[in-house]
Amino acid sequence: MSDAAGHAPILTVTVNPALDVTTSVDRVVAEHKMRCGSTRLDPGGGGINVSRAIRNLGGISTALYTAGGPTGQAYRQLLEQDGITARAIRIAESTRESFTVDELSTGEQFRFVLQGPQFAEQEWRALLTAVEEELPHGGYVVASGSIPPGVPADFYARIAHLAASRDAHAIIDSSGASLRAALDEGVHLVAPSRRELAELVSADLDDLDAQIGAAQQLIADGRSSLVALTLGGAGAVMVSSEAVVRLPAAAVTVRSTVGAGDAFLAGLVLRLAQGHAVAEAFRTAVAAGAATAALPGTALCDAESVARLEHELDAA
């Protein structure tokens, strides 16, 4: 099944979106009033960032998210301006904000992520119902980001269960109890960091062999078909039942890591939805993550930069 963009349909789910506020100061100093530079506002949160990056790469997705209060209204307007096909589930409390402050004198970046609104049971159930209504048969559903207060830890597991009933591929990007519950249900792909994988298996995983072994065990146990392990400056590893593929980090000057993981996931799911081989999709993912890291603040990758970095990865 393909949509108008020539790929299998993709649905993204963001339970806990955030209005991303990005600015800069010369130096962060305690107890001082710091005059900031220009401010950038973006609709953020895992699934929404995946949808935005998919759009930048020429694909199409449908984004499901929650929104409430004045922040939620501003968030909706920004998404509309971005031209993202989206459906909002209204909640009573306000959508959270997150703040990124670049310290110009040192190049350091400070990130402040607020907890998020408290959900009533009927609110998260309404979002789950919307997932069931929008979930494409034979397509992909990407559930990404943190779980806010009031939402059960098995929320992503419930999405994975729905995906299985529709012959769809569930891709989960989370951590802790919510990721563990989803894996217990069984998913198509997870993309943990080295730290998240170590927490998941309750082991140190000090070297790459141990990390690959832990990913292979998840696959052998039927918990995930694919594991994309991100290693920061050391690159990334894609593990399947057939192969282990490792790629170095693309050669870029890192300006901001905000959204890089989401862009990685966007490149991966888009190429898989287009029918590309896992290794090819993985190369796009690494390039998309690096292209995003090379941009300031909360900006996301563009297709031209991703294509250039893919070519460089091929030549490496």
What counts of helices (H) and strands (E) characterise the chain?
Answer: 10, 13
Query: Which residue of the set 204, 262, 302, 314 is catalytic?
Result: 262
Helix intervals (H) in 85-193: 121-134, 155-165, 176-185
What is the residue whose two structure tokens read 């993309």? 191
What is the residue whose two structure tokens read 């990721």? 179
- Please report, to the nearest 10 degrees, the dihedral formed by the alpha carbons of residues 35, 41, 43, 46 taken in order: -40
Residue 102 known to be catalytic: no
Residues near 32 by beta carbon (within 8 Å), at least 6 away in sequence: none
Residues near 237 by beta carbon (within 8 Å), at least 6 away in sequence: 208, 211, 212, 215, 228, 229, 231, 244, 245, 246, 247
Give the H/E segment covering residue 236. Answer: strand 236-239
Supply the residues annotated as catalytic.
262
